[in-house]
Every structure is written in structure tokens, then in C-alpha cells.
Chain A
């Protein structure tokens, strides 16, 4: 589970810190472990010009958010919208036990919160309705 690239993203998070001129910001947390994550986007013309995240949490939540920011930077919102739970888990490339799923999805949840104000856990949107 703790592959080298996961630990690398954890120790050297990409796109980490405050985003100057952010147009969209969303803060979220995982009640189970108290992980905190803020996702900031600068969106113009339907594209994610820049993205940064900050937070405190486990290797899985931080690496997952880091990988996600690399992916969405420069993408159109339509493309970003298609990123779902399965995509994030596949991108992580490691088996995630049920107890750690929310760690892996916290970044995506915060991203969707920032871009569209969605507050449901990815994959549970229908249930939440």
C-alpha cells in the first residue's frame, strides 16, 4: 500500500500551499481521523488554470490529493467533472481497505466542493439526494 510514489507524493506534495487569486475554495475534513484538506482553484473560461491544496492528514489522503491536483491542472471543467471515485482509486494504484476509502477520496470531495459546491462523498451522491 505504501508504494514509493505514494510516499513521495506524501512527503513532497505537488501543488501544495495557498493559491493566490483563487476563484474557488473549499475546506473539508474526514470526521473519522480528523484529516483536514483545503482545495483551491483558479478557474477561467471553463478551465482550471491553477490548483493548490493544503491540509494535514495521512499519507493516503495527502498523496491522493496531490495526484489529483496534477491531473486537473489545465483541464476543462467538463473533463474535471468526469473524474469520479473509481478514477481516483484507480489512479492511486494501490488496494484501499474499506476503512481508508474516505482518506483516498477526501481530495476529490474537496475538489468537487470547490468547483461545484458539491458536498456529498464521491460515489454517494445519489444516496445523499
Chain B
């Protein structure tokens, strides 16, 4: 399968960026680390690590509680992180930014706190075969619980959403659209704004899974016309444990809380409880505040580099890798064959070698990739494969690492004699 693509030139100073990531200087089995599993999680720059260490070393105290200086400083750092996140996705108000552990918890928050009160028997949920399990299983389970129907929109041969099918499903009426902004399995970027407009016209509420989008491309919740949008911090240079739900204030105000307990209340008596204001109504218990502060530092880092530049850099890498990878006999590449509407995710298989074996042999070459179903089993079924091998880029990856990957493909083929 010949693939030729014209790639934009990267304008990133990658050597300088790499110097900020201590882990990238590590070796694996005596070989330089080639980390190409960024869709699973990203590495962390020392700016993030140090921002978190500073909290522990200089002013750690629980947030929103103490009236002493350390608690006030930690609270201020936590709320400053919220305001950075709000600016990052162009949220109209910081009140609409809720800190959770990850995108999965974000979808569950929406499914429980909005879905259970708004979806009824016979309502239709429209979603896609590209969804990560985190944006599929919560809706599947909720649908079973309340008796709603789920329509799953298919993809075409290049892994792009069947727009005709999506429009047709929405025209039949929908109460909810659960749509991934960017596919973690194939790297496809969906035309979210267009689809959201159609969904709203059909009367649907729009939930966007932006876990693979916010780290790699500019995302503007107002431009997209989303109602809810979720993402994880750990895929965007921040620590695991930091995640975000953005939701329209008008919807969040009307929703019940997701978790009950401390910090999410304004007044509790034996007989009843009044909820705290937004966003704290949805942040029960002690938040992962140091993780959230780490996310704030990650946003600073991404801004300093420039998210648009990061996107172009990743496309340059895809443009470099795709033709080289797809010309290797026996290699099948899944997903978009061009650089339009995609991110730096390249999924492939080598004929005669299971992806797990591919990844094990790659590991011996120092190359870290994901092999498996990528929490995308409906997509794997659609592609007719049990699993794929996936390389996914970020701002610190290089064309030399792409070469290491193709060398590892040849190494795997040699071991298996294919």
C-alpha cells in the first residue's frame, strides 16, 4: 500500500524540549528510550515535576479549609490551575471547569449526574465506533439501565466517520450525542463543530471526549458548541490523577452532584444538605490538588511551546513515518492515509505477527509502543482484527525515532521469518 503525503515542516526546537524531560534520557536494555506511546500517557517535563514538588516542599495544606497561609497558598495554586485550564479550552467561566481524576471519571460524572435524570426509556443515544471504552461503556450501561437505545455510527475505509450515517442517525432524533473529538486508535479527528450543530438541531445534548485532542490541538469549547467536554491531564504532560470535565453552567447548575461528601456542600443539617456552588458542587472530598496544580504547570508548558506548533510537529512525523512504514512488505496501516484531520497516531499490523509479539520485540530495541485493542474493542471488531500495534507521537519525538521504529519492524519480521 503506497502512501505519499506532503508534511508540513516542524518548527519546534526538539533538542531543547527533550532536555526538559528527564525520563527521555533513560536507556532501555542498553538502547536509547524511544517513547512512542503518548496516546496512552505522556512523559512529564521537569517544570511539571518541580511545580508539584514545590507544593509538597514549600506550602502543602488541604485546600478550601484552612484559614492559615499554607492552605490559602495551596488553594490559590489549585484555583489558578483551574483558571489556566478554563483559558486553554476557552471556557466562558472558570465555574464550568471541574477537576476529576481522568476523562473516564469525567464521562461517568456526566452519565450519572446528567444522564440518569435526563435519559428515559426509548430515548436515543448516538455515538460512534471510534469511541474509547471510556466514552462507550458508561453510555451502554446507562442505556441498559433506563431503556434507552444506542446507535453506533460507522467509519469508512480510512477510519473517518461516516458523515452521511451520522446525519441520518441524528435526523431520527437523539437525546444525547457522545462523540470522540479524536480517535485514540486511528488518530482520526472528527468534524465536531458540524456534527454538534446537527445534534443540537435534533435536540441532543453533546458530550465530547477530547482526551486525545486537548494535548495535541487547539480546542475551543465555545467554537465546538459542546455541552460537556472531558479530557485527562496525564496525556498532556500532567500527572495521572488530573482530569477535567467542562460543562455549560446552565446544565451543571441543574444537575445533581456526582459524589456526595465533604467540600461539595454549602450547609448540612441532620435533615438536609445544600450543595456548594459550581464547580465545587462536583468536587467531593479532598481533590487531587497537587495533580491539578501539575496540570496548571503543564498548560503553561504547552502554551510556551505553542499547541498549534506541536500539532504541526506531530503531523510532520506522521508525514515522515507513514510512507516509510507502509512500503514495508506485510505492513498494513489503519486509519487516515493523509494528513488531513488527523493527529500523530499510527496504527498498524505486520502480517503473521501478533501485535503483542511485535511490541515485545520492539521493547528489545528500546521502542515503546502500545499493542492491543487500545480500549477500542468495537473499533477492532470493525477493522476485523483482534488488536493493532500503535505508535503515537508528542512534541518531543523525532524522525530518528521514526527510523528506530521502522528498524524494529524489520527486526520483528526477521525473528518471525516473515
B304 within 8 A of A: no
Q: A2-B357, A2-B361, A58-B357 are in contact. Are A34 and B387 (CB under 8 A)?
A: yes
Contact with A along B401-418 (1 / 0, CB 8 A): 000000000000001110
B355 within 8 A of A: yes
Beyond the given pairs A57-B356, A100-B360, 4 more chain A to chain B contacts, judged by CB atoms under 8 angstroms and listed by A's residue number, are A7-B415, A35-B356, A58-B355, A58-B357
Q: How far is the CA of A97 from the CA of B357 in the complex (A)?
A: 12
Those 5 A-B pairs whose CB atoms lie nearest each other, nearest first: A58-B354, A58-B356, A34-B386, A59-B357, A33-B356
With both beta carbons as reference points, the residue of chain A lying nearest to B353 in the complex is identified as A59
For A35, the chain B residues whose CB sits under 8 A away are 354, 356, 386
B380 within 8 A of A: yes
B233 to A: closest C-beta gap in Å = 25
Is the interface on chain A under 10, 10 to 19, 20 to 34, or 35 or more residues?
10 to 19
- 6 pairs, A vs B, C-beta closer than 8 Å: A34-B372, A34-B380, A57-B356, A60-B356, A60-B357, A100-B360
Residue pair B355, A33 in contact (C-beta under 8 Å): yes
B371 within 8 A of A: yes
Contact with B along A1-20 (1 / 0, CB 8 A): 11000010000000000000
B241 to A: closest C-beta gap in Å = 23
B28 to A: closest C-beta gap in Å = 12
Residue pair A34, B360 in contact (C-beta under 8 Å): no
Q: A32-B372, A33-B373, A56-B386 are in contact. Are A100 and B415 (CB under 8 A)?
A: no
Q: How far is the CA of A34 from the CA of B360 in the complex (A)?
A: 16
For A100, the chain B residues whose CB sits under 8 A away are 356, 360
Residue pair B371, A33 in contact (C-beta under 8 Å): yes
With both beta carbons as reference points, the residue of chain B lying nearest to A31 in the complex is identified as B373
Q: How far is the CA of A58 from the CA of B187 in the complex (A)?
A: 25
When the two chains form the complex, which single residue of B372, B373, B416 contacts A2, counting CB atoms closer than 8 Å? B416
Q: How far is the CA of A58 from the CA of B355 in the complex (A)?
A: 7
B42 within 8 A of A: no
Q: Which residues of B from 324 to 376 have beta carbons under 8 Å from A?
A: 353-357, 360-361, 371-373
Q: How far is the CA of A32 from the CA of B370 in the complex (A)?
A: 11
For B75, the chain A residues whose CB sits under 8 A away are none
For A28, the chain B residues whose CB sits under 8 A away are none
Q: How far is the CA of A43 from the CA of B371 in the complex (A)?
A: 37
Residue pair A33, B386 in contact (C-beta under 8 Å): yes
Q: How far is the CA of A34 from the CA of B371 in the complex (A)?
A: 10
With both beta carbons as reference points, the residue of chain B lying nearest to A4 in the complex is identified as B417
Q: How far is the CA of A100 from the CA of B363 in the complex (A)?
A: 13
With both beta carbons as reference points, the residue of chain B lying nearest to A62 in the complex is identified as B354
